[in-house]
Each structure stands twice: as structure tokens, then as C-alpha cells.
Amino acid sequence: MQTILTRLDEITENFKSILKKKEATLIENIENGAFINLERELKEITDNFAKDLTESILREAVDSPELAKKAKELGESKRLKIRKTTVEIYIWNGQRIRIPSYYGSPKVNYTKKKKGRKRKRGPNGSGSHLLLDYWGFLSKSSPSCYGLVALLTVVCPSFDLAVKVLEQQGLPINSKTVRRIALSLGKKSMKYRVLMNVGKTETLAGKRVIISVDGGRTRIRLSKKGADNESVKYPKFDTPWKEPKLLVIQEIGADGQINKKSLPIYDTVLGDANAIFKLLADYLKQLNVQSADKVLFIGDGAKWIWNRTKKLFEGLGLQASQYIEAIDYYHAVQHLYKTIGQLPVKNLTDIDKATLTAEMKKLLWKGDVTNLVKRLKQLGKGNLPKVNSLLNFFAKQPKLFNYSYLKEVKMPCGSGIVESAIRRIINLRFKAPSSFWLPHNVEPLMFLRGIALAGRWNNFIHTFANFKK
């Protein structure tokens, strides 16, 4: 491909001509203090220049022998029938341009055409614009365009607000297109979610790391079954609550504080506990966690978490000395308050609740669960069934409460990283009143929002646009 700038002189001369015509207006805006008008005028001029230049470059590129050959190779590798057509695309500034394109469609073996009958097409979505795919386009939009559109979609509290922000930035893209771009990016990137979320050279080898999982809340939309419901224009639907499960992987420093130079990893699934732990195992394997210096797994007291942690670490090849498991201290104290609240008042004549609570918190901090359980059982006579039921939280998993050791090795004793992530990633965007999400749509959007709030967006878009399956 010798050149892609045959129209450069024409485009630049047109650009200069427009600037010359607008010169008086630009100067007037500066003199009148209307700098905002100056910015708007310049943006319109430069956007049109970028549009003309991009269109010229792509037209020259598509018509070159080299890319014609490349399109043919791509079509043959996918066994597609190729024809040349045109396509309208969105570029980085939201403007639309029409360029030539090599479209690949499935080869269909047609039977003899009968009179009065139309031949059948291939299934929708089975064809593709070969060079657009090669360049990393998605839904006929460039990487910079769909990167910005999808980012605003998941960061803003609604699709409508994302559209308004795009309009303010000079990108006139309607709500339907915004939704289609964001969902397409989420669903396609989720097929390779670990590779998309983790940098190529990223590793946990030799590092200290904290891992946590927890569940949030959102309402999903499920259509009611039945012939009567399927035939109406607006079908009835149920809106049950669903618990999306979220994982966090975060590097911490030698002082026990979060390493702010290292970005966290967030991901979310709508599936069950097995699904989130399988995904967590995939991330940790990719990050070479078996070579980590120290790993802390911390969370609340949910049984679905602690029934799976040992199997997780053994499956990843970690030694027992490499990892620590702990229940969040503040959840443990909350459960302790609840237990003490069930003690019969007649048993507390020699000690007030405040003093007892302080003593039990000291035992809990030291990890002395045996004496804690023994003391509360003595004071629980008269309501032992209820007290014993609550004490099982401590008695059945005593190794998860040694907070003085966590302090000694400079590890956190709280699961604030996952509590915060649940609120920011799930609750603030997907738990709004009267919001009901289709299950196959909400998980891809949660995945994208996690990447955005982790500060990994630019790397993610670059990886996706250049990813070759």
C-alpha cells in the first residue's frame, strides 16, 4: 500500500478555506469574551476535518490491492462468500462516514428456485464486514467510538443520561445505538473475560494479595409463561430479586495498606457460588497466584464462601503457609452482639452487658474461640438452644477469627474492599427503584462497569480491539 493520502492536499485546502471564512467570527468570540463559542466553532471545524481525512484514508485503504488480498484471505479462512459493498460507520468523534467494504456471507446451497417462491437467506448475523472486523470495529463503530459510548453507558446512572452526555460532547448517537454498542461489547468481551481484564504481563508472583467475594442485589425481569402472555403486545413479567456475586483481587503492600499503584480486579456473575469460585480460580491461575508471597481470603460469614475456599487454594497449588482465611472482624463482632443479646437477663446479675461484650471482643481478637464459646454457654443457660445455634458460627470455624495474627503479619481484618465494590459496581447502577434487568443483559454491563471502576478501561479497549481469536 504505497499511499493513503492522495486527497490530502484537497482536504487541507478545504480546511484552510473554512478557517479563513470563520476567522472573523473566531476573533469576535475572543474579543467578546465568548470563549465557549470559540471552542464550539473550532470543534465543529476540526471534527469535519477529521471526518474527511478518515474517510479519505479508509477509502484508499479498502481499494488497495494489499487489503483486498487480506479481505479475501479472511473470507476464505471463514468459508465466506465475498462481495464488495458500502457501509456506514461511526468514527471516534461520533460522525458517520460511508466507505467501501468487503462483506462476507455464508455460502448457501440453494435448491432449484420454484416459481413464486423467494430463496432463503442465511441466518441473521452470520455475515460480517471483513476489514471492519480486522481493524477491531464493533457494531460498525471504531474502537475509540465504542470505547467512549460503552464507558458512559456503564458509568452513568442510565442509558438516557449517557446519550445526553454524548450529545454534549458532540456525539449525536441515539439511545438504541448506545444500548446496542454497550451490550455487544459486553457480551463479546465476556467470552474471554479473564484475558480482557488482566494485563499480559500482570502477575501476583512474590506479592501480597487480598481476595474477597460477596453478593449484591438486583431485580431481574422474567416473562411469564403461557400462550395468553406470548400473544399480547406487552407481555406480563415477574421481577424476582437476584444476588449477583462479585469478586475482588487487590494487591497490598508490606505495611498492610492497599497498593494504589496496582489496579484491583473486579468481576461479577449472576450464577451460583460454584460459578463465582470457578471464575475466581481462572483469574488466580492467570495471575500465577501459586507464586504469591502471601494471600488473604476474607469475607463475611456466609457458608457458601467458606465451604469452597480450601478446595480453591488446593486446586491452585498453594501451600497452607501461603494463605490465610478470615471472617471480616466487623461481621464477627456484629454476630457476637447478636449472641450476647440472647443471653437471659437473670444470668447477667454479676456482670453488665457492656463489660461482658468488651471481654468477649478481646477473646475474639486473640482468636480464643474456645473460651469465648465456653463463657457464653455458661451464661446462656435458660435459652441454650438459641444461644448454641448462634455460637456455632464461632465453634465450627475457629481458625477464621485470629485477628491479632492478621495484625502481626500486617494484613487487613476487614472486607471493606468487597463491600465498597458491591455498592459502587452493583447497587448504584443496577439496584435503582423500578429497574428490572434481563439476565442476559445485566451481567455483561456489570462486567464492563467493574472494568471501568477498576481503572482498567483503556487497557481493556486496546486489548479487545487488537484481540485475535
Do 247 and 220 belong together in one domain? yes
Q: Break the chain down into helix, strand, coil percent, rounded to 5.
A: 55, 15, 30
| Averaged pLDDT for residues 285-302 | 95
Other C-beta atoms lying within 10 Å of the C-beta of residue 130: 23
pLDDT attached to residue 114? 52
Does residue 68 sit within a domain? no
* pLDDT given at position 20: 93
Quick check: is 143 in a domain? no
The chain-wide mean pLDDT, for the chain, equals 90
- Asked if pLDDT for residue 15 goes beyond 60, the answer is yes
Q: Are residues 258 and 288 in the same domain?
A: yes
Mean per-residue pLDDT, 299-317: 94
First to last CA, the chain: 26
Residues 207, 242, single domain; the answer is yes
> What value, to the nearest 5°, has the Cα angle with vertex 127 and ends 121 and 129?
140
Mean pLDDT of 122-141: 83
Phi and psi dihedrals of 294, rounded to 5?
-150, 135
- Asked whether the predicted pLDDT for residue 153 surpasses 60, the reply is yes
Print the domain residue range for 388: 330-403
**Do 335 and 282 share a structural domain?**
no
CA 359 to chain centre: 43
pLDDT, tens digit (0-9, with 9 covering 90-100), for 241-284: 999 999 999 999 999 899 988 999 999 999 999 999 999 999 99
Amino acid residing at 305: I
| More confident: 110 or 80 | 80
Residues 234 and 308 reside in one and the same domain: yes
Query: What is the number of domains present in the chain?
Result: 3
Residue range 441-463, pLDDT digits in tens: 999 999 999 999 999 999 999 99
The verdict on 230 and 379 lying in the same domain is no
Are 272 and 214 in a shared domain?
yes
Is residue 322 a part of any domain in this protein? Answer: yes
Residues 374 and 255 in one domain: no
pLDDT at 215 over 60: yes
148 within a domain of the structure (yes/no): no
pLDDT mean over 428-444:
92
- Residue 269 β-bridge partners: 245
Same domain, 17 and 38: yes
> Are residue 243 and residue 371 in the same domain, yes or no?
no
Q: Is residue 52 part of a domain?
A: yes
Final residue in a domain of this structure, among 62, 81, 102: 62
Report pLDDT for 147: 96
380 lies in the same domain as 321: no
User: What average pLDDT does the segment 20-36 reach?
Assistant: 92
* Last residue within a domain, chosen from 62, 77, 93: 62
Handedness of CA 427, 428, 433, 439 (dihedral sign): negative
Asked whether residue 352 is domain-assigned, the answer is: yes
Q: What is the pTM of this model?
A: 0.90
**Would residue 72 count as lying in a domain?**
no
Q: Residues of the chain with pLDDT > 70: what percent?
A: 93
**242 φ/ψ angles, rounded to the nearest 5 degrees:** -130, 145
Question: What is the average pLDDT across 198-225?
Answer: 93
Instruction: Give a yes or no: residue 157 inside a domain.
Output: no
Quote the percentage of the chain above a pLDDT of 90: 78
Spatial contact of 80 and 107, defined as CB atoms under 8 Å apart: yes
Query: Pick from 39, 62, 85: which residue ends a domain?
Result: 62
In a shared domain, residues 375 and 424: no
Which residue type occupies 131?
Answer: L
